[in-house]
Structure 1
Amino acid sequence: MSHPIPTQMQALLLEAHHEDVLEAVRSLKVVQRATSKPAHGQVLVKMDASPCNPSDLLFLQGKYGTSKTLPTVPGWEGSGTVVASGGGLLAWWLQGKRVACGNQDDRDGAWAQYMVANAAECIPLKQGLTLEQGATLIINPLTAVGLLATARKEGHAAAVQTAGASQVGRMIVRLAKEAGYPLISVVRRDAQVELLRKEGAEHVLNSSGPDFVAQLTSLCARLKATAAFEAVAGDLTGIVLNAMPRGATAYVYGGLSETACGGVDPLGLIFEDKQLRGFFLGAWLKQQGALGILRAAGRVQKLIIEGRIGTQVQRRVGLDGAVEGLEHYVQNMTDGKVLITPNGSSVDWG
């Protein structure tokens, strides 16, 4: 498939990390940058949309587990159309196809008009799935799938999740309900309790309530909930793990509080076989292999097309409005994702 590829493209550039997240966002610049050429086994994707996830903010701050040489273009995932191949059977086959793609290698990311992606890490989008939906196919949905799969594989009969009203949390609610897997969702506000109940959650607790710890302890015992999907960190990690029965494991996959996991009772670790572990999506995906990833992504796409799970989008911004849009996201994360549309200049505040 022939396609005119410009030698220069527009991109958001990060020149230095900043610990303050708003300072990091405000440091991003729209620049002209050379359009990279795909090597063997790689493709060039004309980007349609790319979200900002908490992992992107951590990268801007220099706190993410994967580093890149600066200056660089951020953006861990997105979607678009393959417009060029660097060679290889799979890369050739992907030409002209709509794909979800990610990039954790040391090269420019998705917040640009074009991105080079490894062909083996591109996920062809099913008919009926929009490019906008495909832009958020990897990180949030596969994190939800991976957490639930890990808990079930390791023999946990039920789970607790923190940040239950987040995008990942709401996906976990729907996937757990579909699987008949008992789940306790922890949120911070009464409005979030009502939100999750409307989405089918049976057990929702407000961590701000006066009887929260007693309610959590009782419910964990009744449901035999020994897995915790922990996205907040801080004291909540200890509160949840301490409330769970013997043999409980807290899988920490986020740090929304930006504070260290605290308050864990050491006696629970010593005498009750409790564990505190990290969950990193990149490592889980490597364990699944290419076929496992495609199977998981295929299942997720089917659920999205059927309207059973999805990502809420609060704003869509072109590169010209990206900094303002990302500032808004930092301050209103529970309202949904901000999507960057690198090949569009209009700003949608819907």
Structure 2
Amino acid sequence: MQTVTFSSIGKPTDVLRVIEAPLPEPGPGEVRIKVIASPINPSDLLFVQNMYGTQPELPSGTGFEGVGIVDKLGEGVTMRTGIRVSFTAIGAWSEYVLANQRSLIPVPDALSDEVAAQLFVNPFSAYAMVEESGLQPGQWVLLTAAGSSFSKLVIQLCKMKGIQTIGTVRHNDLDHELKALGLTEIINTEKEKLTTRVKAITQGRGVSCVLEAVGGNTTSDALKCLAKGGTMLLYGVLSLQNPSLNAGLIIFRELTIKGFWLTDWMRRVDSQKRQSVARNVLTLLVSGQIQLPVEATYPLTDLKKAIEHSERAGRRGKILLKA
């Protein structure tokens, strides 16, 4: 089978290789999945650079989620083969992968492979973070990197809940799309001062919450946009730069800064909560109330082109790898 692997830490386009490998055999509690498609997420690329919460054990596969068909069962697994499932596992960029049976979500026929491939990382994160934020109808939330697949999901969820959204962009080529999804206000940080615009939009009150993914000066500026008692949820550092934080601002406005990592959130909540989120996300996707667009699909053999495409500014959808 073809699979993507790396033996040293580094830039993904430099260290990732597509190789031939024997079919893996499932152990107790595992299933083997014939992969149909898998997305390229920022976390996948950070993992290859050893800049993620999970450290690679070299040599390692990569890719954290996908959709496929259950092909073989390990000891103690009671489900049947032939079922189409969304899965999470290290090594999803492959023709076949092993996954723990607990990580599988059966996919309804109404859901396309392209949507099912993206079912876990962004939809679960968006749904969980909107809940974690405690935002109420009428309140404002600031989304940095508003053009990302994650932010587009948050925009749609907030629109459904009556939460008002401000999104930051560096280019205006996605403005029409973001407005169509329900984004209330757009700020181009290359042309406008973030804090000034947020103050004007919120009549001087500031936003109740910031969902921040950029790091560096963006984090520092976004913190100034919070209303008294507001919360910032940090879920990424796309700039790879650590922010400088104003301690006085945090103290006297009684601000809260929290990290959010879906892996830990899934461990922390009980199984009933996880199942509830899965049901709600599936319902929203099947009904078409939220969209997961795909911009392009590449075979594993075009891995380098796929990664380069995934890193382009102004993408209008996810990049998928198909085995």
**TM class, shorter-length:** over 0.9
Q: CA deviation at 1:340?
A: 0.9
> 1:158 is aligned with what amino acid?
W
Q: CA deviation at 1:339?
A: 0.8
Do the aligned residues in 2 keep the contact of 1:13 with 1:31 (CA within 8 Å)? yes
Inter-partner Cα distance in structure 2 for 1:155 and 1:276: 22
The corresponding residue for 1:204 is 186
Inter-partner Cα distance in structure 1 for 2:294 and 2:315: 10
SS in 1 for 2:166: strand
- Correspondent of 2:13 among 3, 10, 25: 25
Inter-partner Cα distance in structure 1 for 2:205 and 2:131: 18
% identical equivalent positions: 28
1:236 aligns with 2:215: no
Q: CA deviation at 1:110?
A: 0.4
Larger CA deviation: 204-213 vs 52-61: 204-213
Inter-partner Cα distance in structure 2 for 1:144 and 1:259: 23
Question: Which of the pair is proportionally richer in strand?
Answer: 2
The corresponding residue for 2:281 is 300
1:93 aligns with 2:75: no
Q: Do the aligned partners of residues 206 and 118 (structure 1) sit closer, same or farther apart at CA in structure 2, a change above 3 Å counting?
A: same
Per-residue CA distance 1:26-73 (angstroms, 9 max, x = gap): 322111222221122111111000111000110111111101211111
Do the aligned residues in 2 keep the contact of 1:156 with 1:226 (CA within 8 Å)? no
Q: CA deviation at 1:192?
A: 2.9
Measured on the aligned residues, the alpha-carbon RMSD in Å equals 2.1
The corresponding residue for 1:347 is none
The corresponding residue for 1:172 is 154
The corresponding residue for 1:345 is none
Alignment gaps of 5+ in structure 2: none
Per-residue CA distance 1:196-219 (angstroms, 9 max, x = gap): 112222222222233432121233
Per-residue CA distance 1:105-128 (angstroms, 9 max, x = gap): xxx510111111111111111220
Matches within 5 A, 1:239-318: 239-262=221-244, 264-318=245-299
Larger CA deviation: 142-151 vs 24-33: 24-33
Per-residue CA distance 1:135-193 (angstroms, 9 max, x = gap): 10000111110110100179994321111111111110100011112222222223333
Q: Do the aligned partners of residues 156 and 250 (structure 1) sit closer, same or farther apart at CA in structure 2, a change above 3 Å counting?
A: farther
Matches within 5 A, 1:177-188: 177-188=159-170
1:137 aligns with 2:119: yes
Aligned length: 323
- Correspondent of 1:66 among 44, 49, 54: 54
SS in 2 for 1:238: helix
Give the structure-2-normalised TM-score: 0.93
Do the aligned residues in 1 keep the contact of 2:50 with 2:56 (CA within 8 Å)? no
Larger CA deviation: 265-274 vs 284-293: 284-293
The corresponding residue for 1:84 is 72
Inter-partner Cα distance in structure 2 for 1:289 and 1:99: 22
1:334 aligns with 2:315: yes
> 2:117 is aligned with what amino acid?
A
Q: CA deviation at 1:94?
A: 4.7
> 1:16 is aligned with what amino acid?
S
1:10 aligns with 2:8: no
Give the structure-1-normalised TM-score: 0.86
Inter-partner Cα distance in structure 1 for 2:110 and 2:172: 35
The corresponding residue for 2:142 is 160
The corresponding residue for 1:124 is 106
Per-residue CA distance 1:68-88 (angstroms, 9 max, x = gap): 211111011011011111132
Q: CA deviation at 1:308?
A: 2.3
Inter-partner Cα distance in structure 1 for 2:74 and 2:135: 38
Inter-partner Cα distance in structure 2 for 1:85 and 1:333: 41
Inter-partner Cα distance in structure 2 for 1:122 and 1:72: 21
> 1:50 is aligned with what amino acid?
S
Inter-partner Cα distance in structure 2 for 1:38 and 1:196: 43
Question: Which of the pair is proportionally richer in helix?
Answer: 1
SS in 2 for 1:228: strand
